[in-house]
Amino acid sequence: MIGGLVGLAVVSVCGRWIPEECVKVAGKLPGFLINIIFATIFLGAATPKIRDVFRLAFPQLVVGQLLAWGQYVVGLGLAGFVLVKAFGVPETFGNLLEIGFQGGHGTAGGMAESFSEIGWTDGVALGFTMATIGMVVGVVLGMVLIQWAHRHGYVKEVRAFEDRRIFERRGFHLKNQRPSAGLQTVMSDSIDSLAWHIVVVGIAVLIGYVMHRCLNIRGFPLFPFCMIGGVLLQLITKKLRKTLLVDRVQMERISGAALDFLVVSAISTIKLSVVAANWLPLAILAVCGTLYSVFIVLFVARRVFRTFWFERAIAEFGQSTGVTATGLMLLRTVDPENRTPAVISFGYKQLLHEPFMGGGLWTALAVPLVYKLGWLPVWLISLAMLALWSVFALIIVRRNRKG
C-alpha cells in the first residue's frame, strides 16, 4: 500500500516525464494479475470433505456471508435511495462497497471489462480508491479493535510492537529461522520448479479463458472462470494421482507476488480527478460500510462464535474491509502461535465463500444485473440473502445458549 501511494505521488508529480505507455500498462496490470490470484486459490490445496468443512466452518461462513451480503444491502440501498438522487452517481455506484471492501484492488481491476461494457470506466478508479480505503480501515481500525479486545480480556496472546524483537519490527527472518518458500516438485534438469508452477497457473488461466470465450457473457469478467479452471485442474491432477507435482506453498508465493504487484499498480494508477469529483458519495459509502462491519464484529460475531469469538471475528473483519491477507495478518496478531481453531475455520470457510463473494461469481454478476435490471431488484435479492443468513445466525445463537 505504501509502495502504491509512492507510485501515485510519482505519477501525479512527474507524470509529464513518464512515458504514457508505461502508465497504461501499469493500469492494465491489476486486471491481468487478478486472474493469476484466482487461478491459484485451489491449486495444490487438499480438498477436504464438504461435510467436514460445514461442520468446522459453518459459523465462520455465516459471519462472512452476513458481512458480504450486508455490504450489498448497505451499498446498493444507500446509492439507490440517496446517492443517485443527491449526487447524480450511477446506480452501480453501490456495488463499489463490496467490490472494494470485500474484493479489494484485484477485484476492482478485474471488473474493468464489466465497467467498460456498461459505459462507466470511472468505476475502476473509484473501485481502486474504495479498496485502498478498505485496506487502511482494515489495518488501522482492526488494530484499534484488537487493543480494545486486549484491554477487556477477550484475547490473551497479543504481542505489542514494543515487545517484539528488532528483526520482527523490521520485517525479516533470522538466518536460522527462515521458513520454506516452497518445495521443488520437479528436477531442474527438465524444468525449473518455479517455471513449472507458473505453467500450471497458466493452464488454469487458459481453461478459464476458453470457458469465458465459449459462454460469451458480455460484461462478465474473466477471473471467476480462472478460479473454476484452477479447481478443474486440481481435480484432474487428483484423478491422475499427480498432486505431488504441485506444491501449495509455491502457489501461495506466486499468488502473493501477484497480489503485491497488483496493489502497487492499482493504487499508482488511480485517477485523482475522478476521485475528487466523487469524494463525498465515496466517503459516505465507505463510512456506512465500515460501521456495518464493526457492528457485525462486535454485536453479531461474539454471539455466533461459541469460543474464541474475537479471534475468529477479527479475521472476518480484515477480509471484509481489505483482503484475505489483511484478515490473516490481524488474526496472527491475536493468535501468533495458532492456538485457537480460528485459522482452520477461516481457511475452510474460504472454500465455500470465495467462489461466490468477494470477487466470486456473485460479485462479477451483480454489476451487469444492476445495469440491466436496476438497483432495486438486486438490492431485494441481497436483502433476501441477508435475511436468510440472519436466520442461520439466530439458529446458531440459540443453539449456543442451550449449550
**Mean pLDDT throughout 378-386?**
97
- Shortest CA distance to 345 belongs to which of 305, 372, 381, 395? 305
What pLDDT shows up at residue 384? 97
CA gap 154, 156 in Å, rounded:
7
- Per the CB < 8 A criterion, the answer to whether 205 and 227 are in contact is no
CA gap 198, 88 in Å, rounded:
45
The proportion of the chain whose per-residue pLDDT surpasses 90, expressed as a percent, equals 44
Q: Does 260 have pLDDT greater than 70?
A: yes
Report the run of H or E that residue 339 belongs to, with start and end: none
**Mean pLDDT throughout 19-24?**
86
DSSP letter for 44, please: T
What pLDDT shows up at residue 244? 86
44 — alpha (psi -120 to 50), left (phi > 0) or beta? left
- Per the CB < 8 A criterion, the answer to whether 326 and 314 are in contact is no
What pLDDT shows up at residue 26? 87
What pLDDT shows up at residue 159? 65
pTM exceeding 0.85: no
Which H, E and C letters describe 57-119, residue by residue? Answer: HHHHHHHHHHHHHHHHHHHHHHHHHHHHHHHCCCHHHHHHHHHHHHHCHHHHHHCHHHHHHCC
- The lowest-confidence range among 52-56, 76-80, 119-123 is 52-56
pLDDT band at residue 93 under the 50/70/90 scheme: very high
What pLDDT shows up at residue 56? 75
User: Measured between alpha carbons, how far is residue 277 from residues 12, 35, 274, 282, 378 in Å?
Assistant: 16, 30, 5, 10, 26
Nearest 5 degrees, angle CA 331-CA 336-CA 341? 65
- Per the CB < 8 A criterion, the answer to whether 107 and 126 are in contact is no
How is residue 2 written as a grid cell?
505504501
Q: Does 403 have pLDDT greater than 70?
A: no
What pLDDT shows up at residue 358? 82
- Better pLDDT: 255 or 159: 255
88 — alpha (psi -120 to 50), left (phi > 0) or beta? left
Q: Give the domain ranges of the chain.
A: 2-7+29-163+191-402
**Mean pLDDT throughout 318-347?**
80
**Mean pLDDT throughout 161-181?**
79
CA gap 63, 65 in Å, rounded:
5
pLDDT band at residue 18 under the 50/70/90 scheme: confident
DSSP letter for 183, please: -
State the burial class of residue 13 (Cβ atoms within 10 Å of its Cβ: 0-12, 13-18, 19+): exposed
Give the model confidence (pLDDT) of 362-374 as tens digits: 998 999 999 999 9
How many CA atoms are closer than 13 Å to the CA of 383, on its beta-carbon side?
10
Backbone angles phi, psi at 341, to 5 degrees: -80, 10
What pLDDT shows up at residue 161? 66
CA gap 126, 112 in Å, rounded:
11
- The lowest-confidence range among 15-19, 217-221, 249-253, 375-379 is 217-221
With b for 16 or more beta-carbon neighbours within 10 A and e for fewer, the 201-230 pattern comes to: bebbbebbeebbeeeeeebbbbbbbbbbbb
Q: Does 169 have pLDDT greater than 90?
A: no
CA gap 338, 336 in Å, rounded:
6
**Mean pLDDT throughout 331-355?**
80
CA gap 355, 334 in Å, rounded:
27
DSSP letter for 35, please: H
What pLDDT shows up at residue 314? 92
At how many degrees (to 10) do helices 309-321 and 50-78 cross? 50
Q: Does 306 have pLDDT greater than 90?
A: no
Q: Does 47 have pLDDT greater than 80?
A: no
- Shortest CA distance to 364 belongs to which of 110, 121, 116, 40? 110
What pLDDT shows up at residue 292? 96
Q: Does 109 have pLDDT greater than 80?
A: yes
Q: What's the whole-number average pLDDT of the chain?
A: 88
